[in-house]
Amino acid sequence: MQSISQRNAKPFLKWAGGKAQLINPISESLPKHLYSSKNLIYIEPFIGSGALLFWFLRTFPNTQKAIINDINPDLYKAYCVIKGEPENLIKDLSLLQTRYYSLKNEEERKDFFLTKREEFNTRKLDSLKNSALLIFMNRTCYNGLYRVNSKGLFNVPFGKYKNPKICDADTIRCDSQLLQKVTILNGDYSETLNYIDSKKTFFYFDPPYKPISKSSSFNAYAADIFDDKEQERLKDFCKKIDSLGHSFLLSNSDLKNHDSENEYFDNLYKEFNIKRVKARRSINSNSTKRGEIFELLISNYSSETI
């Protein structure tokens, strides 16, 4: 039986493209064999906020091991700190929260935020301090975004939240418990291939989405650009996974939201199964554009097996 802490595990960051709102359609699109497998191996090469990871580990407690990866070094450090020293992180976040709440004037809070952002951008902090400031800025910056410029510097402006929850001790402790069975990597997603064995492995891919229009581009989670060449390299990697007999599910934007004639993904993944599901875009500078759209779920197993 799962402990209360395991059941309460959830993302510790607000993340553009987070998959919390896609959990239901994803759960309905999983291969049936996952529910009867005794020693599951789960790999998520683009971890982001980990919404699906935490849901998966709660839903499938028989998961033998999980491997997560992200090219973003700040995310990597945060996952490692939450796994290895949650109480120290809680202590640092509690101090930041107390200090922030003591500043009643918005300008004082903004100055405090900018000072911490500058400190974060020195890139000279140890993993604990780096992770505490990452979470602090995620809670206090505009719209909860993570965005870096070409030099890898965090550049999201100050947000105007009255009393944001900077220290969520319960979530950190819950997440830490589940992460004990997780191997955390920081590199190219293709390196996760080194962690599979003869047992059937399930991969979930949530790469930086291809923009549905020129004005909607946002994939600056790292200084590197995930362009069409990278989308096509990922498809080749999925073919490799398929050839080895493992299952994968991949999510991406549905370009037909903007252009009904756009067949980019339909052609790219024509040998696999493509399903269109409803989703909600929750992070957009224009509130009128936060609403229901379609996204793609692409898999290498047929509807008869899900």
pLDDT digits over 22-34, tens only? 999 999 999 988 9
Asked if the structure places residue 294 within a domain, the reply is no
Asked if the structure places residue 267 within a domain, the reply is no
Structure tokens of 254?
A: 């549905």
The predicted structure's pLDDT at residue 288? 46
What DSSP line would sit under 149-206, residue for residue? -TTS-B-PPBP--SS-----HHHHHHHHHHHTTEEEE-S-GGGGGGG--SS-EEEEE-
Pairing of strands 40-44, 201-205: parallel
Looking at residues 42-68, what average pLDDT do you find?
A: 95
Q: Which of 68-72, 210-214, 216-220 has the lowest mean pLDDT?
A: 216-220
Whether 214 shows a pLDDT value over 80: the answer reads no
Segment 217-266, tens digit of pLDDT? 444 555 567 899 999 999 999 999 999 999 999 999 999 998 999 999 99
- The string over 5-38, giving b where at least 16 C-beta atoms fall within 10 Å of a residue's C-beta and e elsewhere, is ebebbbbbbbbbbbbbebeebbeebbbeebeebe
Structure tokens of 12?
A: 């510790």
Whether 45 shows a pLDDT value over 50: the answer reads yes
Highest mean pLDDT among 19-33, 178-192, 203-217, 221-235: 178-192
Asked if the structure places residue 304 within a domain, the reply is no
The predicted structure's pLDDT at residue 24? 93
- Kindly state the percentage of the chain with pLDDT values over 90: 73
Whether 285 shows a pLDDT value over 60: the answer reads no
> Rounded CA gap, 194 and 190, in Å?
8
Residue 252 carries which DSSP code? E
The predicted structure's pLDDT at residue 306? 47
Asked if the structure places residue 261 within a domain, the reply is no
Whether 2 shows a pLDDT value over 70: the answer reads no
Residue range(s) defining the domain that contains residue 182? 1-30+41-245
Q: Based on the structure, what is the number of domains in the chain?
A: 1
pLDDT bin (cut points 50, 70, 90) of residue 7 is confident
Whether 41 shows a pLDDT value over 60: the answer reads yes
Looking at residues 106-132, what average pLDDT do you find?
A: 98
Tokens 């957009």 appear where? 284
Global pTM reads 0.91
Looking at residues 173-195, what average pLDDT do you find?
A: 96
Pairing of strands 63-69, 40-44: parallel
- Distance set, CA 43 to CA 26, 121, 210 (Å): 15, 30, 22
Residues 6+ apart with CB under 8 A from 51: 10, 11, 15, 18, 19, 20, 23
Asked if the structure places residue 205 within a domain, the reply is yes
Q: Which of 40-54, 109-123, 192-206 has the lowest mean pLDDT?
A: 192-206
CA atoms within 13 A on the CB side of 146: 24
- Distance set, CA 248 to CA 120, 160, 220, 272, 273 (Å): 36, 40, 25, 10, 11
Q: Which of 68-82, 92-106, 275-289 has the lowest mean pLDDT?
A: 275-289
The predicted structure's pLDDT at residue 152? 87
The predicted structure's pLDDT at residue 223? 54
CATH number at residue 217: 1.10.1020.10
Whether 304 shows a pLDDT value over 60: the answer reads no
Segment 153-168, tens digit of pLDDT? 999 999 989 899 999 9
Which of 203, 250, 210, 254 lies closest to 230 in space, CA to CA? 210
The predicted structure's pLDDT at residue 25? 94
Task: Output the average pLDDT for the chain.
Answer: 90
Highest mean pLDDT among 3-12, 21-30, 118-127, 143-152: 118-127
Asked if the structure places residue 264 within a domain, the reply is no
Asked if the structure places residue 149 within a domain, the reply is yes
Greater model confidence, 262 or 286: 262
Asked if the structure places residue 233 within a domain, the reply is yes
